[in-house]
Structures are given as structure tokens and as C-alpha cells.
Structure 1
Amino acid sequence: MQQTVPNQFLFLNEVKFAVFVLEVCEDGLPRYLMVNKEWVRATNIDPKDAIGKTALELFGGANGQRGLDQHLRAIAKREEITYDVTLPFKNRMANITTTLAPVFDADGTLSHLVATSKDVTSERERDQAIEFNKIAIEKAEEASKSKERFLANMSHEIRTPMNGILGMSELLSETKLDPQQRVLSDTIHNSANALLEIINDVLDFSKIQADKISLHNEPFSLRGLAKEICTLLGLHADAKQIGLELSYADSVPSRFFGDANRLRQVLLNLIGNAVKFTSIGQITVGVTYDHDDHRLPLQIQVTDTGVGIEHTKQDAIFSAFEQVDRPNHSDQDGTGLGLAITKALVERMGGEITVSSRLGEGATFVVSLPLKPTEKSVDHASDQLPIANIGPTRTGVRKQTAEIPAAPVPQSAELRGLRILVAEDNMTNQLVVRKMLERTGAEMRFAQNGQQAIEAFVEDGCDVILMDLSMPVMGGLDATRYIRQIEQQRSLKVCKIIALTANAQPSDAAACLAAGMDEFLSKPFRKNDLLSTLRA
């Protein structure tokens, strides 16, 4: 059929988007009367093959039928419509959006339909890709949250029985034991503490992977921090009869602005590893500062005379779950996460960490950081930090170093008459608290849940409440809020509330303080920490 187009449609050939004109024939069917050059380019269909045909005859199948149905719908509605259809264009299936506009004769008869079509395949594919990515991101975020919830729950469930193990082994060590019993007791205690370190490492690494590690920058004494850690780990070095020396010149600034707790974690890992893998010789910790280096002026170097690391394995030691074989060294306990966490923390602080080593000749780790000294940079008098006051650690709570027993706190009559209410549903943990405090003279009562704790507080009052968080009926946070309300309503003296919980994350500590608690101790806790908190 020859393409004979009314003059009013001829200009459509110059339009830069696909256009076609349908003529409403005597049988009522809309047939192709004209297609412009852009339509021909897009469809790769010869106009001679289109003219005189319906959409069904031209394209066939379900999509051809859909096109014809839409054309008939436009005729019936006698108004502009838009529809989508998928058609074979140039050996591909294309998503086409078409708008049909009716054209009427002078007497009002609908004679033609003028259609503009747009290939939206790329847009649809882009939208689908965006939607797919959105769904994938949501699934990944949900998976990450599920992993965090799982790890947090597992941490809680493990810490609860570990509090019984560590608490009882500590109490056992205070009794009269023969040498063999002492070895067995210490082994239980140290093994449980090693398990706790593994839990902390896994939680730390999980937070680093999820980019949940935040830095809390403030002025701190690096000189004091380095002395503190070297004194602490020097006890281990002394036990192995190896030296541990700190080289920190007076000319090097003392005080810096940064996250002291994260840097403490880095130094504990590096110096602790040096002690672990050195049997003969010495470990040297050196701190230098180059005022002319505007990128990474601060350097902390840890050098040991240990077994060393094979050159081909030096990159692998910073990978997660990697443990390099050390010749003649069987101490391979741990997760293999320590150096991976260290590297991630250093890089998060904007720094770099490198290692140089030769097998059998020791290793040197160098941490380079962009930390700047504060104005008060050489205040040596304030650098003498008490070793016992380690402060917040990776979990934001006081850390217990089980393998380095602290001196016992004198159990004097200082706690005599102190009325303590223990809200704890776990019977083992109740027993741990009871045994830790039974010789202090304190009066103890126990509640199985938060509701019972409120009732006991209202009935008899108390001076201190040791409050677990996860309990049946009512948890510790809600119980604390109710108690604070009661105190305000009745103008009561404020009772000291101490969180004693296996929920060990910084967010848990923040939630406890926000609910009205005064102190936060995470399980497993040491006897000295509990006594110190009660006596504060």
C-alpha cells in the first residue's frame, strides 16, 4: 500500500523523535498511514511493510494485540492516552512508551490518531538496576544488622556463664590450695579470659567491617599511655626473663589530640605480640616526632628479638583470621584478628602501619600517625598515670585483665550495713555476687526480675542496686526508670544503681546512663572492680 499522507502530517518527517499516524478506516480499525524517519530508524521496519496494517498485523503476538487494543481504546475514549508496550526493535525487545492524540474532522469525526513513541528501555533498565541495587543494599544492611544482633546476642549469652567461671575461679584462688590445685585453678581462669579476648576480637572486627568504629578525639598524654602499657606488659616480659624498654626522649611532645583508647588497643596488640613471640633478648618501644613531616609526623616503633616472620608472609599477617607459622613456637592461640584490627584502627586514624622482619631475627612494626601535639605538649608531671586506672577500653567499659591479678581490696567494715539489692535472674551470677560480697558486711537481697526489684525497693528501700539488663517480666532499663520516678514522686534519697550486665557494647553503657543508672560494669567482672564501684 502506498504511503499517501495528508499534508497536515508531512512535517512529522522532520521531527527528531519517533512518530506514526493511524487512520481510522471504514471498518473501524486504526491502520498505519504514515511513519516518520525516526520511527523507521528506531524500528528498522520499511514503511511499505507498515502502511495499511494494524498493530496486530504488523507486530503480531500479545504485544501486537496490546497495541491494537490501546489504539481502539483511544478511538473509544476520543481523548489522549499513554500506554507502554514491548516490541521487537532491531533484533531486540524494546520498552516503548506511546502517547496517542486524536485528530478530528470539521464535522467532529475522529479520523486519525497521531502517536509519539519513546524507547525507554535504557531508562527502565536503569530504574530496574537502581531498584535492584536498592533491594540489594537493603538486604545487605539487614544481613549486617542480623549479624550484629547475632554477635551481640552470642556475646551476651557467652558472657553470662563466663561470669560464673571467672568469678568462681577468682574466688577459688583466694582459698587454700595445694600447688596442683593452684595450677588447675589458674588454668581455668586464664582459659576463660582467653575466650573473652576472642569474643572481644570478633565483635571489634565485626564493627570495623560494618564501619561502626568511631573515634573520640581529645587531648591525652601519649607518654603516660606508653609508660602505662609498658609497665603492664612488662610483668609478662619479666616472667619470660626478657627486657621491655621504652625509649621516649624528653624532646618528643608528650600530649597529643586523638583517641587514646583506640591507640591503647593498637599498642597493647603490638607490644603484646612482641612479648608473645619473643623468648630471648629484648623488646624496645620507641616514640619519635618529626616536626618537618607534615603528613605522618608521629612514629611508634615496636622492635623485638623474637622468631621473626618470613618475607613472603609479612603481608598476610594483617589479613583477617590469618596466623603465620612461627618456627619452634607453638603458641598459636587467638583468632588471628589482632593485627587486622590494629591495621584497621591505624588506618581509621589516618595513619599507616608497616612491618620489617627476617626469619629468626625478630620483627619491627612501625605505626605512623598524623596526630598533632597539643599546646601543652611537654608536661611530664601529668604523664604519671596510675597503672590500675586503665579506663574505658574497646567496649567502653572497665576492662578486667585476668591474667594479671590485682592486689585484693581490703574487705573491711567499710561496706558493713550497706543495703544492696541484686536484680539478677541467673542463679550462678547471684551466687558469684553473694560469694564476692559475703565477707564485706554488706546486707544483700535478691530479685529475679525488674518488677521484683521495684517491689523490693518500694517495700524496704536500699542503698545500692546491682541491676542486670536482660531479665524476664521487666528488664533493668525499665526498672531503673520506674525507680527514678518513684524517688522523684516521694522525694526519696537517690539510690545508687549499678548496671551489672553481659550487654557489653558502648551503646549499652550509654543506654544505662540515659535510663538513670550511675555506673556500668560488664560481665565477666572482677571482684576488685565490683568492690571499688560499691565503695566509690
Structure 2
Amino acid sequence: MQQDEFSDHFGILDAVELAVIVLKVGDDGQPRYVAMNTKAREATEFEHSDYAGKTALELYGGTIGRRALNHHLGVISSGKEATYDIVLPTEHKAKYLSTTLRPVFDSGGRLAYLVGSSADITSERERDEALELTRMALDKAEEASQAKERFLANMSHEIRTPMNGIIGMCELLKETDLDEQQQVFADTIFNSATALLTVINDVLDFSRIQADKIALHDAPFSLRDVVQDVGTLLWARAAYKGIDLRIDYPEDVPHEFVGDASKIRQILMNLLGNAIKFTEAGHVTIRAAYDPGAAKLPLRIQVADSGIGIEPSQMDWIFSAFEQVDRKTARVIEGTGLGLAITRALAERMGGTVTAASVPGEGSVFTVGLNLPQPGEAGPGGGDTPEVLGSRQAVSTAPGLPGPELPPEALKGMRILVAEDNRTNQLLVRKMLKSTGADLRFAGTGQIAVELFESEGADLILMDLSMPVLGGLDATRRIRTHEREAGLPECPIVALTANAQPSDVEACLAAGMNDFLSKPFRKNELLARILRQGKQA
């Protein structure tokens, strides 16, 4: 097309849906605007008199003008089309255009015009920027969540380590001959330390729930056993207050279910503990019922008490975090106010509910509704299968009933290697196992533990996780490698650690450990782990 013919057709550009600009290349090599179609004038908010005969630098000025002029000169220099994005600062808001600029040559082969077509990508850019801001905000939130989780895990570890010494030594002290006053002192220390441990566990549980990191490990279990265990654990607390603790589990209620027994135990411990705490006289009852014809939640577990009750105005927020019932006439009951929030969150995580009814001055009833499949049935969500890692099955860190006292010399001849760098905890294990007849050897680092095992062997290993030189996980992996290479049978390894997160349990099992016991631990819990793993070995 001839140059003059091209200029004669500028008016046709108004029919084009894209924004179109035309620049004429002068004898001085400078491209100057000669036409903008309707779409281009709407985008730039320019009239013909505003742009005619001007270069981009003269029209826009500043950085935008220099950038646009450079694009124009680049196409002139190369003689080839180019695509680029530009920003137009209009009166109302900046607009983003994606522009393709093409050279137009006259009949003599001279570059005469530049023709650019632009699509408005403002919405897309704003969407992308919004998505990027959202991504950055999510990244920061995730970083903050991880930082909080690391902080809580570290604080838990640092608190549990000395508490293990306090609770363990206090337990050993209570086994000695004490006069009445000394017994009171020892009981006070023990109860106070146990209360502090409950606060720590509540805060950690609530943190995991907020981060949606509560995992369920479903397996067949006996609900009757769980209910009876919880009742047995809390019987002494109720008896101390003169409260009649009743367990009602009718024979026609099935007791074999598939679910996470440790989470159900925690729910019942919270509800029954609360009922005893807020009841000064009368009774507390835990009752199970099952309605196979119910459309949903056929399993019901109720915890009823004859305590102070709850005011109607307070019923709306008793399941909220950090809230407690106001007793008005007495000081506020001690605690974090997290128990019921954790209870409801755990029940809902299992697809269930927790509801409450109360009459002030007469008592309260908390009802847990669950839909747990029975063995052989498919669960409502398919359920999780028990996690098994080689010969090691996933273990629970929930507190259980203490095992029976062992007769003297019950572990006589058993070679137990204790990998523990804390002197107090070494002393505690030594004293707890002193009367059993076990042959104890201690290693202050994971490296020393590996060397002792390779040179002398062991019948069982108690393995701390956080140790200098070599940690418990790496030490376990090296021991398992040595066993495979030497053709040795697998030595039971029990994690004995202040790292109490579910991820710590998984990491221990994955590294090759057989069992897990978190600090602070009770003497009978330690003995039960040793007996169980020793028998399996």
C-alpha cells in the first residue's frame, strides 16, 4: 500500500474493536502520532489536538514517555514487529495495555509508518496483582503459623524436660517413708506439676486444632474399656471431694467400634474432669446409649453432674476458647478455659457433636454424639486404617492406666541402654529401674549410644531425641543399618523424649523406633513400655 493511500484510510480504523495508533516516521527518524481510533482515544482520554505531531516522549513525558519512545525506535531499528506492555496514566486510574507494534513500508521499501494495536489488560493485571498479594499474605500467614508451631514445640520441649525431673522425682519421693507433713508437701508438688502439665497440653492441643493439624488414627477399640478406664483414672479425684462417680454402660449397648480411641478418651477426660471440678456434692455420671435406628449420630455418651450448673446467658460461649463459667460467689476455677473448645473441635473432627444442657444450681448434662462404625462395617467417610510401619504399629501418646507394680528383679539380666544427655533424667531412670534388676548403661550422646550398641549390644534401648553430636533419630537409623549389615535381630527402641508432637511420633516410627513415651512420664508407664517391647523382642 502506498504511503498516501495508507493515510487516506485512517478513518477506517474506527471500525476496529482494538485500540489502534498510527505514527508517521519523519525524515529525522522520529515517530510522531498521526492517528488514534475511537478505542485508543477512549483509553488515553486524548483528543486529536493533544497527540497530533508529537512523539511519545513529548506526549507522555517522564519514564512512560521514554519507555514508549524506546519501543517505537526499537521497531524502526529492527524493521520487525514487537509486543510489549505499557501503562497509561489517565485521569481516573492507570490502564494496562498489551501492544503489538508493526512497521509499514512504502512502495520504495522505506519504513513510513508504525501501526500499533492494543488490548486493555487492566482487569487481568489487577486480578494477577490481587492474586499475588493474596499469595504473599497466605505465605506470611503460613510462615507465622509455622513460627508459632516451632515456638510452641520448643517451649513444650524445654518445659517438659525439667518437669520430667520434678514429677518423676516427686513420685519416687512419695514411695519413701514420709511423715504426714512431708506427705502433704510431696502431694502438693506432684499435683501442682501435674496441673501445669495439663495447661501445657491444652495449649498445644488448641494450637494444633487451630492449625488444622489434628490427625485421626482409626482402629478397632472397646468403648466400654475406654469409659471404664476414664472413670478409674478420675475416681480418686471424685472420691476426694466425696462425690459419687457412676458409670452406666448397659449390656445392650455395643462396645466394639472403629475410631480414634485416644481422641475419645481425651473428650471424656475433659468432660468428666470438668463435671468433677464444678460439683461440690452429689454425683457425676457417665452414661452410654446407642440407637441403631437414628438417622445420624446413633452413639451417645452423656456426662451428667449435680453441680453448680450454667447460667442461660453463658451457654452461648462455654465452648469458646479461653472462657470459663463465672461462679460469682467463689473465685474462678483454675484452668486455661480451653477444655470444652478442644472437646468440641475433636468431636467435630470425627464428624460428631457436643451439646450442653443445664439448670443453674441443679447440674449440667454434656452429650457427645458420634457415628462410629462397628468392626466389619464401612465408616461414614471410609475411615483411616491403623498406621503400620514395618513391625512397628502407630502408638498413642494419650495417658493410659498405669501398669501393675513389678516384683523386685523383674527385669533382672535385661541389658538396657539409655541414650539421654540430661543428668537429672539419667538419675530419674536409674532410680525408677533400680529395683528391677536391669543392667543399665548410659550414653550422653547419640554417637556414644551407637558405639556402645555396636560394641556391647543391648536387649532394649531408651532413646532421647535431642542430644548433642548425634540426635536420637539419626542414632536409630545407624543402629538399624548396623543390625542389617551384621545380620542381627532388631533391638527394641523406645523413644523417651520431651518432643510430644504427633509429627515427632511419626518421625520416630519412620526412623525405626518401636514405641514412644513422652516426658514427663510415670514410673509405671516406663515399666509398661519396657515389658511390652521386651516381650515382643
TM-score computed with the length of structure 1 as normaliser: 0.90
Question: How many angstroms does 1:100 deviate by?
Answer: 0.8
> Unpaired runs of 5+ in structure 2?
379-392, 533-537
Is 1:227 the counterpart of 2:223 in the alignment?
A: no
Amino acid at match of 2:21: F
Aligned to 2:54, the other structure's residue is in SS state coil
Aligned to 2:97, the other structure's residue is in SS state strand
Question: How many angstroms does 1:244 deviate by?
Answer: 2.4
Match for residue 473 of structure 1 among 469, 475, 482: 469
What does residue 237 of structure 1 align with? 238
Aligned to 2:119, the other structure's residue is in SS state strand
Check 1:86–1:312 CA distance in 2 against 1; reply closer, same or farther (3 A cut). Answer: same
**Partners of 1:327 and 1:108 in 2: how far apart?**
96
Is 1:66 the counterpart of 2:62 in the alignment?
A: no
Check 1:173–1:407 CA distance in 2 against 1; reply closer, same or farther (3 A cut). Answer: farther
**Partners of 1:357 and 1:314 in 2: how far apart?**
8
**Partners of 2:48 and 2:64 in 1: how far apart?**
20
Amino acid at match of 1:241: G
Is 1:267 the counterpart of 2:274 in the alignment?
A: no
Give matches, 1:134-213, under 5 Å: 134-213=135-214
Question: How many angstroms does 1:285 deviate by?
Answer: 2.5
CA deviation string 1:154-180 (max 9, x = no partner): 111111111111110011001110000
Aligned to 1:98, the other structure's residue is in SS state strand
**Partners of 1:511 and 1:443 in 2: how far apart?**
28
Is 1:459 the counterpart of 2:455 in the alignment?
A: yes
**Partners of 1:338 and 1:518 in 2: how far apart?**
31
Check 1:157–1:34 CA distance in 2 against 1; reply closer, same or farther (3 A cut). Answer: same
**Partners of 1:91 and 1:130 in 2: how far apart?**
23
Is 1:508 the counterpart of 2:504 in the alignment?
A: yes
**Partners of 1:407 and 1:299 in 2: how far apart?**
30
**Partners of 2:377 and 2:63 in 1: how far apart?**
80
Moved more, 297-306 or 30-39: 297-306
CA deviation string 1:66-113 (max 9, x = no partner): 222322222122111223332223532222232210000111100111
What does residue 314 of structure 1 align with? 315
**Partners of 1:258 and 1:400 in 2: how far apart?**
17
Question: How many angstroms does 1:445 deviate by?
Answer: 1.9
**Partners of 1:311 and 1:469 in 2: how far apart?**
49
> Contact conserved, 1:316 with 1:324, CA < 8 A, in 2?
no
> Contact conserved, 1:22 with 1:112, CA < 8 A, in 2?
yes
Check 1:341–1:311 CA distance in 2 against 1; reply closer, same or farther (3 A cut). Answer: same
Percent identical residues: 56
Question: How many angstroms does 1:397 deviate by?
Answer: 2.1
Is 1:522 the counterpart of 2:518 in the alignment?
A: yes
**Partners of 2:294 and 2:51 in 1: how far apart?**
75
What does residue 434 of structure 1 align with? 430
Question: How many angstroms does 1:183 deviate by?
Answer: 0.6
Moved more, 426-435 or 34-43: 34-43
> Contact conserved, 2:403 with 2:525, CA < 8 A, in 1?
no
Check 1:534–1:375 CA distance in 2 against 1; reply closer, same or farther (3 A cut). Answer: closer
What does residue 386 of structure 1 align with? none
**Partners of 1:463 and 1:225 in 2: how far apart?**
32
CA deviation string 1:5-40 (max 9, x = no partner): 624544322111111111112332212222111112
Aligned to 1:415, the other structure's residue is in SS state coil
Check 1:263–1:534 CA distance in 2 against 1; reply closer, same or farther (3 A cut). Answer: closer
Check 1:495–1:49 CA distance in 2 against 1; reply closer, same or farther (3 A cut). Answer: closer
Question: How many angstroms does 1:524 deviate by?
Answer: 1.1
TM-score computed with the length of structure 2 as normaliser: 0.89
**Partners of 2:129 and 2:377 in 1: how far apart?**
58
What does residue 298 of structure 1 align with? 299
RMSD: 2.5
Question: How many angstroms does 1:463 deviate by?
Answer: 2.3
**Partners of 1:458 and 1:330 in 2: how far apart?**
59
What does residue 384 of structure 2 align with? none
What does residue 399 of structure 1 align with? 399
Aligned to 1:318, the other structure's residue is in SS state coil
**Partners of 2:224 and 2:92 in 1: how far apart?**
73
> Contact conserved, 1:304 with 1:362, CA < 8 A, in 2?
yes
Amino acid at match of 1:450: G
Check 1:442–1:288 CA distance in 2 against 1; reply closer, same or farther (3 A cut). Answer: closer
Give matches, 1:482-493, under 5 Å: 482-493=478-489
Question: How many angstroms does 1:272 deviate by?
Answer: 1.2
> Contact conserved, 1:221 with 1:255, CA < 8 A, in 2?
yes
> Unpaired runs of 5+ in structure 1?
378-391
Amino acid at match of 2:484: Q
What does residue 405 of structure 2 align with? 409
Question: How many angstroms does 1:372 deviate by?
Answer: 4.1
Check 1:322–1:376 CA distance in 2 against 1; reply closer, same or farther (3 A cut). Answer: same
**Partners of 1:459 and 1:217 in 2: how far apart?**
41
Give matches, 1:3-402, under 5 Å: 6-330=7-331, 332-374=333-375, 396-397=396-397, 399=399
> Contact conserved, 2:354 with 2:367, CA < 8 A, in 1?
yes
Question: How many angstroms does 1:407 deviate by?
Answer: 7.3
Amino acid at match of 2:309: G
What does residue 439 of structure 2 align with? 443
Moved more, 222-231 or 436-445: 222-231
Amino acid at match of 1:516: G
